[in-house]
Structure 1
């Protein structure tokens, strides 16, 4: 760590601390500068965008100034420039990270290449919807990690209103996951999408082979003719048996957990339509431009990262919770869990030195109001301080009595208020300490553009956290060791630790 960064961290650590109640009392304009509206449309009659309210965090103007100094010491502006310029920001693998180029914001040549690949995908998606590939009613999308979570969160959020094709996302190697998809689909009207960056991922390729067998066993004459391949290595897909006209490539500089904007988003477009998928990319691009062109506290992802690091680095909070008060976003906590923990769950800096504090907190969460009757006991009265993000939509996602949505929103806002205010009681069991932080993202409606903006906001928030911590968010070597040992077991290797040997023997594997 440079001396400038060490000094910035020390100045932050030396800042006095006040309660949330004290902060609101001392600064009547607190909401004005910590709650910001981000617009995706300038139509006053039909607003589209979201309100991001960080006023119930412990950020102060002095802390913000300290984090801005840390950003300068961390060369944040230069790292951001490199990100959008398509230069190396992943030093361990000597790669760029060009997910924003997929949305039209980035290096010109990368944007042009992405647009050409997107056009190719769009033609195939339109052909499917127009019946050129026959009667297609179902798609089984097979991937793992970001290749599955990205499509799953978008389809679950958007397909209720927009579904054109019934899509089932399968990630788990457990055959039950495949059988559930098979049970919901007619093999005569089903396509298979195989998503693998290298087209060698063992879980994905094993599931893909079983899906082809299911088609053949059910009378489909040309199972390979039903496969769409989504990969950065198209030649591998062709070798496997996919017709080259059904291979949708994406750039190798796109990491799995940032890939839903590429051809990995094919099942999203098949599910909700090409125009809606492009709207999702446009919403993300609006956040890209904001992040690229805005500095300091006005930069919304950077503001969120300031609060994140205040709690994880300076207050020792080991977890961060996300609660979506919208059933359509039930998968968002899981998506963010992978995005944040796989990106920033590191113990060395980008230079390979040991870090000097916590990196990524453990991201977890659930869906309100279910979670209120499960985990909120700990959040209100437990000994752990857990910063929380609440996410909700002003417009409902249902056609039920409006009382449903009104009660949902009232509960969302009430939880944030209660966590902050607490409640005194002479009975300790009924006392609430309060002063517990939360942030709220309130969208006007959960449409494709807004979902795109919401996901892009969290991508850039993750990048900001990484830069201020001095780590590389774009590699993920931590997932490899377990895979290597699994391959050794499959190859018949012996002499593991006594516990593993006993488990293998008990399961009939050793």
Structure 2
């Protein structure tokens, strides 16, 4: 059975939301907390170690009720059940979408269970020093070679879990920029470095070119047979990896029912296992699985991903807000936003609906941000006094990992103060200097988590995965294909040929022709 394919703008709830929006669009709502003593208690969700306060939003009880009606009308419950049951909801590619099955530790597919055991055994051999390099020395450095989902997820997680890191040095090669590859290789000793080549197809241009550069560098020091003790692959193309020189025993499988941007839960997470140990990787899976259960089973009005998605729909489609910010008050999460940018914008950057029709409403929010409190000294000026309305998620943790409560208290004071200042502004206060006027009425969600652990990080990532899924269902788009990514790759083959052949006339576009000529003349 295909996913429901309902144009949201044709539903009764959408029309009611349009009328409701006219009532609220110009209303200054800062006094809601004094007028509604129970508001903060009503607009919150407490679940395990998560506390989500969404009371500082331009909403009323009626707004939430109408948004919930919208979710019902577009068949969200049915869509959730279809995803978890393994139906091929990625219809344009004919695939199921089952990254959740990678972390269902109580009901693992046999192929997933065996792969996890292989990851566990391999990473423990690396960490214990049992796996030796070609000269008999233990591995000290691990390099993940991938791009997109094969890079952003593992890098973000290993960065976020620095506190839990072991003695291994972890590096990431993704960009085809040869200068960057060279800079990383400068830091490495071929005798003690393990390379993980991550590519589902084992044909991804950037990854295979970079892996070849690395292999050539490695072979300057030793012979080809030693590739087998220093290179492993994560791929569905076993023969391709073998042809590269990798032992079949060192190839970790991938499956077509896992999209790249949701693959960190799979063998793509091998570098995570090496960085923080398999037990912590399993804790990440468990946390994500707990969020899966919450999303699948909780009532919509108490369901964190669903409520966050509905609020995003409210601003994007009714206030015509195009972007939303994510600000994490932890330096450990400095790679979270680039990860979310791929997950969200690659998934929902679509303009054709599930019926194959051109869409005439907004989809795909632009996601941006950085860590607090750094960002307060940068783009927060625009959030506070700019002309654009930008809803913002504030992510914070009750406890610091290193035990420095003096700094942490200041950090969290800013976390709390910024959401209040964005909401209150200088409302009902006399401001003689117009340059010090703050309009306020700026919406935020406060996501307060007890502590940054592997488990809570797994929950947080899964929360945003489910949020983007809900958005896609409501917008009536396919969130799990990525045809827009493929077009640029196809065109690049032609421009590469023109550059290598030093023949700009191969290109039809006159602007590109001129640019190639300039490039070749330089």
Aligned length: 498
Task: State the Cα distance separating 1:22 from its structure 2 match.
Answer: 3.8
Structure 2: any 5+ residue segments left out of the alignment? 1-5, 133-137, 499-504
Answering whether residue 519 of structure 2 is matched by residue 507 of structure 1, we say yes
Partners in 2 of 1:224 and 1:212 — Cα distance? 11
Query: 1:486 corresponds to which residue?
Result: 492
Partner of residue 145 from structure 2, selected from 138, 142, 147: 142
Which residue number in structure 2 is paired with residue 178 of structure 1? 181
* Cα separation, partners in 2 of 1:75 and 1:178, compared to 1, 3 Å: same
Cα separation, 2, equivalents of 1:166 and 1:391: 28
* Contact preservation (8 Å) 1:58, 1:307: no
Equivalent residue for 2:29?
20
Question: How far is the alpha carbon of 1:285 from its aligned partner?
Answer: 0.4
Residue 323 of structure 1 is matched in structure 2 by 327
Deviations 1:352-387 (A, max 9, x none): 111231101110001111111110111100100000
Partner of 1:197: helix, strand, or coil? coil
Cα deviation, residue 121, structure 1: 1.6
CA–CA separation in structure 2 for the residues paired with 1:57 and 1:509? 55
CA distance in 1, matches of 2:182, 2:400: 33
Q: Is 2:232 the partner of 1:214?
A: no
Structure 1 stretches (4+) deviating beyond 6 angstroms? none
Match of 2:341 among 329, 337, 342: 337
- After TM superposition, the score normalised by the length of structure 1 is 0.94
Displacement after TM superposition at 1:279 (Å): 0.4
1:89-135 per-residue CA deviation (whole Å, 9 max, x = no partner) reads 111111111000000179x6x63332222122212112222323210
Aligned-partner Cα distance in 2 for 1:236–1:161: 34
Is 2:133 aligned against 1:127? no
Distance 1:57 1:20 in 2: 9
Question: Deviation digits for residues 68-95 of structure 1, max 9, x if unmatched?
Answer: 2111211111110010001011111111
User: What's the counterpart of residue 112 of structure 2?
Assistant: 114
Structure 1 pair 503–415 and aligned structure 2 pair: CA distance change class (3 A): same
1:457-481 Cα deviation digits (max 9, x unpaired) = 0000110111111111101111111
Q: 1:440 aligns with which of 443, 446, 453?
A: 446
Matched residues in 1 for 2:8 and 2:456: separation? 41
After superposition, the Cα gap between the structure-2 partners of 1:497 and 1:509, relative to the gap in structure 1 and judged at 3 Å, is: farther
| Aligned position for 1:296 | 300
Alignment of 1:32-111 (within 5 A): 32-39=41-48, 49-104=49-104, 111=109
Separation of aligned partners in 1, 2:484 and 2:8: 29
Cα deviation 1:289-336 (Å, max 9, x = unaligned) = 111111221111000011100110010111101111110000001111
2:420 aligns with 417
Q: Determine the structure 2 residue equivalent to 1:191.
A: 194
Gaps of at least 5 residues in structure 1 are 40-48
Q: Distance in 1 between matches of 2:148 and 2:29?
A: 38
Map 1:326-365 → 2, pairs under 5 A: 326-365=330-369
Where 1:291 maps in the other structure, the secondary structure is helix
- Does the CA-based 8 Å contact 2:283-2:455 persist in structure 1? yes
Deviations 1:390-418 (A, max 9, x none): 11112224355x32211111111111000
Instruction: Please say if 1:468 is aligned against 2:474.
Output: yes
Shift in CA distance, 313/84, structure 1 to aligned 2, threshold 3 Å: same
Alpha-carbon distance, 1:5 to partner: 4.3
Provide the secondary structure at the position in 1 that maps to 2:30. helix
Find the counterpart in structure 2 of residue 396 from structure 1: 400
- Match of 2:360, SS state, is coil
* Structure 2: distance between partners of 1:392 and 1:183: 37
**SS state at 1:21 partner:** coil
How much is the aligned-residue C-alpha RMSD, in angstroms? Answer: 1.8
